[in-house]
C-alpha cells in the first residue's frame, strides 16, 4: 500500500520530481542500503545460532534465579538493540526469548514485554540503533561518537527505568527459581563464532565513525562468506528484505509529499518553543502514525545542522511509540512473532501499561539530556 502511494504522489506530481529524488535517493539511499545489509547480517547470525547461544548463556548465568534471568535478558535485548537495531531485537530475539521462557517453564508476558519495550527505549545510543537516528545524523551532520556521547545518559536512564518499571509490574510473576539448562552446542561453532564477530565488529566500526551502510555491508559480507564456505543452505534470496525496502521507500515519499503541502507548519505549531513539548508531541505523533514518518515530519521543525534541537525529537519518536501496536515497525514485528508462538498481548493491556510507564521515562530522559 505505502509503495503504491509513494509511486502515486510522484506520478501525479503531488510531490515534485526534484523533491522525490532528494528524499527517495539522496536521503533514503544510504538508509535503505544499511537496512538491507543489517537485515542480512542479523538473519545469518540467527541461522547460525548466535542468538540461541546468547540466550542459553543467560539462562545458565542466571543460576536458576528468575529475577537475575530477567535482568540478563534485559542486558541481551539492550545490547542487541544498541548494536544491531530495534527491528533485529523484535524479529530475531523475541522468538528466542519466548522459546527460552517456555523451555524453562516461565511466564511469557514479562519477558516478551521486556523485549519489545527495550527494542524501543534502548534505541537511543548509536546511529544504527534506530532508522530515526540515522536520519538525524544525516540531517545534523553530527558524528557517531558525538551522537553516542549526547545520548549515553538518556539511554542509561531509559533502560534502567524500563527494567525497573516492568520488574515492578511483574514482580509476583518473577519470583522463584527455574531449572538451569545444560549447555547446547551450536550446529557449527566456527560459523557461529564468525557471525558473532561480524556483529561485534559492525558495532565497533560504527562507533569508530565508519558510515553505517559501509560497516553493515562489510559485516554482512563476512557472515555470508562464512556461510558460503560452511553452510550454503543459509544463503537464499529470501534473506533480502525487498518488501521492507519498498515499503520504507514509499513511506519516505508519502511523508515528503505531506510535508511539501504544509504538514511541517502544523507540527511547528504543536511543538512551539518548548523542548519538553517537542518530546511529547513527537511521541504522540509516533503513536498516531508510526515513529518513522513522525520523525520525518518533526525533523522539519529543526533547522539543518542544529544537533541540539534534534535530540528531543528522537526521545519522543524512539521511546514514545509504545502505546499503540503500530507506533513502531519493531512493535508490529514483535506482535507478529508473539502470535506465531501462541503468546497474545491485548492492545488494551499493551496501551495501558505504556500510558503509565512511558511518560515518566520521557520526562526523565529529557531532564538528563540537558545536563
Q: What is the helix (H) or strand (E) element at residue 255, kind and residue range?
A: helix 242-260
Q: Residue 367 corresponds to which cell in the numbers above?
A: 531532564
Question: What is the number of structural domains in the chain?
Answer: 1
The pLDDT-based confidence of 5 (bands split at 50, 70, 90) is: confident
CA distance 1 to 182: 47
* CA–CA distances in Å: residue 1 to residues 130, 251, 255: 23, 10, 14
Give the pTM.
0.89
Q: Are 335 and 325 in contact (CB under 8 A)?
A: yes
Number of other residues whose CB lies within 10 A of the CB of residue 370? 11
Task: Decide if pLDDT at 286 tops 70.
Answer: yes
Mapped to the 3 state alphabet, what secondary structure does 10-51 carry? HHCCCCCHHHHHHHHHHHHHHHHHHHHHHHHHHHHHHHCCHH
What range defines the domain where residue 91 resides?
A: 2-369
pLDDT of 263: 66
The pLDDT-based confidence of 273 (bands split at 50, 70, 90) is: low
Q: Residue 346 corresponds to which cell in the numbers above?
A: 491485548
Q: What is the pLDDT of residues 298-344, one digit of tens each?
A: 888 777 667 778 999 999 999 999 999 989 989 988 998 898 888 99
Q: What is the pLDDT of residues 30-88, one digit of tens each?
A: 888 888 999 899 899 989 999 989 999 999 999 999 999 999 999 999 999 999 899 89
Burial class (CB in 10 A: 0-12, 13-18, 19+), 95: buried
Q: State whether residue 130 is helix, strand or coil.
A: coil
Q: Which residue has the higher pLDDT, 134 or 15?
A: 134
Q: What is the pLDDT of residues 182-240, one digit of tens each?
A: 888 888 999 999 999 999 999 889 888 888 999 999 999 999 999 999 999 999 988 88
For 328, phi and psi rounded to 5 degrees? Answer: -145, 155
Amino acid at each position: 500500500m505505502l509503495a503504491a502511494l509513494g509511486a502515486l504522489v510522484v506520478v501525479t506530481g503531488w510531490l515534485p520530481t526534484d523533491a522525490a529524488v532528494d528524499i527517495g535517493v539522496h536521503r533514503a539511499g544510504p538508509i535503505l542500503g544499511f537496512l538491507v545489509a543489517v537485515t542480512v547480517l542479523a538473519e545469518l547470525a540467527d541461522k547460525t545460532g548466535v542468538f540461541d547461544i546468547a540466550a542459553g548463556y543467560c539462562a545458565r548465568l542466571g543460576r536458576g534465579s528468575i529475577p537475575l534471568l530477567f535482568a540478563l535478558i534485559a542486558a541481551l535485548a539492550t545490547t542487541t538493540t544498541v548494536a544491531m537495531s530495534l527491528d533485529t531485537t523484535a524479529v530475531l530475539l523475541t522468538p528466542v526469548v519466548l522459546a527460552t521462557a517456555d523451555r524453562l517453564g516461565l511466564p511469557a508476558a514479562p519477558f516478551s514485554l521486556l523485549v519489545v519495550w527495550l527494542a524501543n527505549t534502548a534505541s537511543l545510543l548509536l546511529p544504527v540503533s534506530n532508522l530515526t537516528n540515522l536520519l538525524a545524523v544525516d540531517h545534523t551532520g553530527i558524528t557517531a561518537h558525538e551522537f553516542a556521547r549526547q545520548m549515553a545518559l538518556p539511554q542509561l536512564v531509559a533502560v534502567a527505568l524500563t527494567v525497573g518499571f516492568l520488574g515492578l509490574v511483574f514482580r509476583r510473576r518473577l519470583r522463584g527459581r527455574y531449572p538451569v539448562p545444560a549447555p547446547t552446542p551450536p550446529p557449527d561453532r566456527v560459523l557461529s563464532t564468525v557471525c558473532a564477530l561480524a556483529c561485534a565488529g559492525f558495532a565497533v566500526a560504527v562507533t569508530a565513525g565508519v558510515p553505517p551502510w559501509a560497516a553493515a555491508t562489510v559485516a554482512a559480507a563476512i557472515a555470508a562468506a562464512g556461510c558460503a564456505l560452511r553452510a550454503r543452505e543459509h544463503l537464499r534470496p529470501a534473506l533480502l528484505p525487498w518488501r521492507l525496502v519498498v515499503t520504507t521507500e514509499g513511506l519516505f515519499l508519502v511523508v515528503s509529499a505531506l510535508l511539501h503541502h504544509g504538514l511541517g507548519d502544523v507540527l511547528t505549531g504543536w511543538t512551539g518553543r518548548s523542548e519538553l513539548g517537542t518530546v511529547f508531541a513527537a511521541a504522540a505523533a509516533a503513536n498516531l502514525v508510526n515513529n518513522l514518518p513522525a520523525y520525518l515530519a518533526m525533523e522539519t521543525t529543526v533547522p539543518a545542522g542544529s544537533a541540539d534541537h534534534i535530540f528531543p525529537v528522537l526521545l519522543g519518536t524512539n521511546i514514545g511509540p509504545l502505546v499503540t501496536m503500530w507506533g513502531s515497525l519493531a512493535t508490529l514485528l514483535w506482535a507478529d512473532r508473539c502470535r506465531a508462538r501462541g503468546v497474545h498481548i491485548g492492545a488494551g493491556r499493551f496501551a495501558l501499561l505504556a500510558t503509565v510507564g512511558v511518560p515518566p521515562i520521557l520526562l526523565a530522559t529529557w531532564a538528563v539530556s540537558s545536563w
